[in-house]
A and B are shown apart, each in its own frame.
Chain A
Amino acid sequence: MTTYREALREGIRDAMRRDDRVFLMGEDVGAYGGCFGVSLGLLEEFGPDRIRDTPLSESAFVGAGIGAAMAGMRPIVEIMTVNFSLLALDQILNNAATLRHMSGGQVGVPLVIRMTTGAGRQLAAQHSHSLEGWFAHIPGLRIVAPATLEDARGMLWTALLDPDPVLLFENGALYPMAGDLAADAGPVDIDHAAVRRPGTDMTLVTYGGSLGKCLDAAGQLAAEGVSAEVIDLRTLRPLDDTTFVESVRRTHRAVVVDEGWRTGSLSAEVSARITEQAFEDLDAPVERVCSAEVPMPYAKHLEDAALPQPAGIVAAARKVVNGGG
């Protein structure tokens, strides 16, 4: 058995072994073993130059990662959580995402930034938001979100081969997720979405921390005689619309599930693309299940109520299938 956390660690370990330009830097990645235990043991294996603890200086060390990438290194920068990435947003948006364009193609930023995202652990508003959809708004970045062990293990490899900045969003609720992972698991395709469960009556489009909930919902729907196809976007920018649009052309119905807030969200983008490209194939308006429009509360019952849950996904699916109920 392998956990999501271990799969990520293996991904980092073999990147470090494969390419000596690769180094990991971030807060407490070394002596502490990583805020969520992802980099545990790597300091002993690779030493403090390559597993580099940084001060609490998000803007400085993310910007330094950008500079090092410009100068030929292949940094992996870890930001503890997406909330703290906001202190480095200027560097990510005004430098990482734009340098290639502003320089007329002279400078590239082959950098990978990893961070935790998502709610479900009662950490309240300043530790729980799902902001990857915001980053997916930004041209110049590639945004990936591993939802399975294979993707946790393989996305970093592919990301490091990318000549441009890649942001990798790890949903915090997934770290303990365990399962079997092939010993020879390697790089994965980050250009395409994946069908995680085939179905014929409707399509659930999701990614990251909501994939498990959608698979749960699909199981419940199957018991009611509704065959739901579950699509994992995997890459949030650029969006692979071919996969989900083709699915909806077959099933004629779609529900988009996104842990981000509904207004101005990734779910809005997916829904818009379905309507733009498959309007004639739709038998019902696209439904969305998102987080409530509220900063994430601490109390468990309130947090549960704020997040997309299988019951809400099932209800939305019934609505597109039966027109209600």
Chain B
Amino acid sequence: MNTAIAKYHTDLLRQMVRIRKFEEICVELYSATKIRGFLHLYVGEEAVAVGVLNGLTADDAVVSTYREHGHALARGLSMQSVMAEMFGRTSGCSRGRGGSMHLFDVKRRFYGGNAIVGGGLPLAVGIGLADRLRDSVRVTACFFGDGAVAEGEFHECMNLAALWKLPVLFCCENNRYAMGTALARAQAQTDLALRASSYGMPAWAVDGMDVVAVEEATRRAVETIRGGAGPCFLELRTYRFRAHSMYDSDRYRDKAEIARWKERDPIDALIRRMQTAGELTDDALKALHREVDDELQRAVAAADAGPLEPAGDLTRFVYAEQS
């Protein structure tokens, strides 16, 4: 056993377990009406967020979607600030104004959850443009779903980023469905990496259930981008184990299909791999679970006890405040 690799795998595992458990508790909190609005869970897709974000540095930027709890946690936002946001508290990362779909932490260069499908792509192009104009080596990673590929904005952004050789990493989370619409019912060409490559950028399809593969692909792409070649595109093939949102009764998917994908659970897969290599004992796994459970409990308690933004402050943050 190589201890450096064991440590690296344990870290990836911990990050994925944090996301999984966070999402699972959100379901309970939603039923308990502590969380409201639309809630889109990331269960099954953890390897994508963890793999991509581990391939970036803290200096790189991230633009996300409404299914962004996993991205936010992998980026280093505390569970507490994310949970408090979903509880609508002042202590939330967007002061209770954004909720589940609009987590922001600009200090960590996390430029938010965007709830308009495709809406984040032009922002990522712009952040990349700002970096290019300043000759920075920073990269902007932009997450979006397979559904976004049908939007005009997708094509406009691919073109602009490639034309201007902008340092943007396009991360397409292909979980095969846009709400209830399967990829093949919405896209004339379902090979999404192929479509991106038609804009003249390197594009790879990656197994999004394998966190190590995602991280490796990200590192390779980021290296290419930092070399000045312009944007890269990753099609991350994954699956969401849960419905689109808490409002979705999930009638459009076959139970057998869901079960097949669950056999490829990215967390179980990593655990198996680590166990085979002798990198993970049962006790260590138990301890890891306990540690995450504790963190989560503290986050929920703090969120629940967190103060509400005074209603008198309703109109703050519409324009910049004088300091």
What residues of B have a CB within 8 angstroms of the CB of A33 in the complex?
A: 180, 251
Q: Mark B136-180, 1 if CB is under 8 A from A, else 0.
A: 000000000001101111000000000000000000000000111
B11, chain A: closest CB distance, angstroms: 32
What residues of B have a CB within 8 angstroms of the CB of A121 in the complex?
A: 36-37
CB of B315 within 8 A of CB of A300, answer no
Assembly CA distance A291 to B298 (angstroms): 36
Q: Which of B88, B89, B148 has the most CB of A within 10 A?
A: B88
What residues of B have a CB within 8 angstroms of the CB of A297 in the complex?
A: 96-97, 314
Q: Which of B102, B185, B252 sits near A298, CB closer than 8 Å?
A: B102
CB of B150 within 8 A of CB of A55, answer yes
Q: Mark B178-194, 1 if CB is under 8 A from A, else 0.
A: 11110001110000000
Q: Is the interface of B mostly helix, strand, loop or mixed?
A: loop
What residues of B have a CB within 8 angstroms of the CB of A57 in the complex?
A: 150-152
Determine whether A269 belongs to the interface, using a CB cutoff of 8 Å to chain B: no
Given the known interface contacts A87-B152, A126-B101, A126-B116, the answer about A302 and B186 at a Cβ–Cβ threshold of 8 Å is no
Assembly CA distance A83 to B117 (angstroms): 11
B177, chain A: closest CB distance, angstroms: 10
Which chain B residues in 15-61 approach chain A with CB under 8 Å?
36-38
Which chain A residues in 96-132 approach chain B with CB under 8 Å?
121-127
B38, chain A: closest CB distance, angstroms: 6
CB of B99 within 8 A of CB of A27, answer no
Assembly CA distance A245 to B67 (angstroms): 48
Determine whether A56 belongs to the interface, using a CB cutoff of 8 Å to chain B: yes
B147, chain A: closest CB distance, angstroms: 5
CB of A83 within 8 A of CB of B180, answer no
Which chain A residues in 60-92 approach chain B with CB under 8 Å?
60, 83-84, 87
Determine whether B256 belongs to the interface, using a CB cutoff of 8 Å to chain A: no
Assembly CA distance A297 to B251 (angstroms): 31
Q: Which of B88, B181, B309 sits near A27, CB closer than 8 Å?
A: B181
Determine whether B308 belongs to the interface, using a CB cutoff of 8 Å to chain A: yes
B158, chain A: closest CB distance, angstroms: 15
Assembly CA distance A302 to B88 (angstroms): 9
Given the known interface contacts A56-B186, A294-B315, the answer about A299 and B150 at a Cβ–Cβ threshold of 8 Å is no
CB of B151 within 8 A of CB of A87, answer yes
Assembly CA distance A131 to B110 (angstroms): 29
Determine whether A306 belongs to the interface, using a CB cutoff of 8 Å to chain B: yes
Q: Which of B98, B99, B102, B179 sits near A28, CB closer than 8 Å?
A: B179
B303, chain A: closest CB distance, angstroms: 12
Q: Mark A17-44, 1 if CB is under 8 A from B, else 0.
A: 0000000000110011101000000000
Assembly CA distance A238 to B181 (angstroms): 37
Determine whether B115 belongs to the interface, using a CB cutoff of 8 Å to chain A: yes
Determine whether B133 belongs to the interface, using a CB cutoff of 8 Å to chain A: no
Determine whether B318 belongs to the interface, using a CB cutoff of 8 Å to chain A: yes
B55, chain A: closest CB distance, angstroms: 27
What residues of A have a CB within 8 angstroms of the CB of B153 in the complex?
A: 87
What residues of A have a CB within 8 angstroms of the CB of B36 in the complex?
A: 121-122, 298, 300
CB of A123 within 8 A of CB of B314, answer no
Assembly CA distance A54 to B308 (angstroms): 41
What residues of A have a CB within 8 angstroms of the CB of B117 in the complex?
A: 56, 84
Determine whether B238 belongs to the interface, using a CB cutoff of 8 Å to chain A: no
Assembly CA distance A286 to B213 (angstroms): 65
Determine whether A59 belongs to the interface, using a CB cutoff of 8 Å to chain B: yes
The interface on chain A, measured as residues whose beta carbon lies within 8 A of the other chain's beta carbons, has a size of 36
What residues of B have a CB within 8 angstroms of the CB of A292 in the complex?
A: 314-315
CB of A124 within 8 A of CB of B115, answer yes
Assembly CA distance A214 to B91 (angstroms): 35
Q: Which of A32, A301, A302 sits near B179, CB closer than 8 Å?
A: A32
A23, chain B: closest CB distance, angstroms: 17
What residues of B have a CB within 8 angstroms of the CB of A124 in the complex?
A: 37, 97-99, 101-102, 115
| A90 nearest CB neighbor, chain B only | B152
What residues of B have a CB within 8 angstroms of the CB of A60 in the complex?
A: 152
Q: Which of A60, A122, A299 has the most CB of B within 10 A?
A: A299
CB of B98 within 8 A of CB of A293, answer no
CB of B96 within 8 A of CB of A27, answer no
What residues of A have a CB within 8 angstroms of the CB of B186 in the complex?
A: 53-56
Determine whether B64 belongs to the interface, using a CB cutoff of 8 Å to chain A: no
CB of A55 within 8 A of CB of B116, answer no
Determine whether A222 belongs to the interface, using a CB cutoff of 8 Å to chain B: no
B222, chain A: closest CB distance, angstroms: 28
CB of B115 within 8 A of CB of A31, answer no
CB of A122 within 8 A of CB of B37, answer yes
Determine whether A311 belongs to the interface, using a CB cutoff of 8 Å to chain B: no
CB of B181 within 8 A of CB of A300, answer no
Assembly CA distance A83 to B118 (angstroms): 13
What residues of B have a CB within 8 angstroms of the CB of A300 in the complex?
A: 36, 88
Determine whether A305 belongs to the interface, using a CB cutoff of 8 Å to chain B: yes
CB of A123 within 8 A of CB of B97, answer no
Determine whether A176 belongs to the interface, using a CB cutoff of 8 Å to chain B: no
CB of A56 within 8 A of CB of B101, answer no
Q: Which of A32, A84, A293 sits near B181, CB closer than 8 Å?
A: A32
Given the known interface contacts A56-B178, A124-B37, A126-B116, the answer about A298 and B96 at a Cβ–Cβ threshold of 8 Å is yes
Q: Which 5 A-B pairs have CB atoms at the shortest separation, nearest pair first? A: A32-B180, A299-B88, A298-B99, A55-B150, A55-B186
| CB<8 Å pairs between A and B, sample of 25 | A27-B179, A28-B180, A32-B248, A33-B180, A55-B181, A56-B117, A56-B147, A56-B148, A57-B152, A84-B116, A122-B36, A123-B37, A124-B97, A124-B98, A126-B101, A126-B116, A297-B97, A298-B37, A298-B97, A298-B99, A299-B89, A299-B96, A301-B308, A302-B311, A305-B311
Question: Contacts A28-B179, A59-B152, A127-B101 given; 13 further ones with Cβ under 8 A?
Answer: A32-B248, A33-B180, A33-B251, A53-B185, A56-B150, A56-B186, A57-B152, A83-B116, A124-B97, A124-B101, A295-B318, A298-B88, A299-B88
Give the A-binding residues of B (Cβ under 8 A).
36-38, 88-89, 94, 96-99, 101-102, 114-119, 147-148, 150-153, 178-181, 185-187, 248, 251-252, 308-309, 311, 314-315, 318
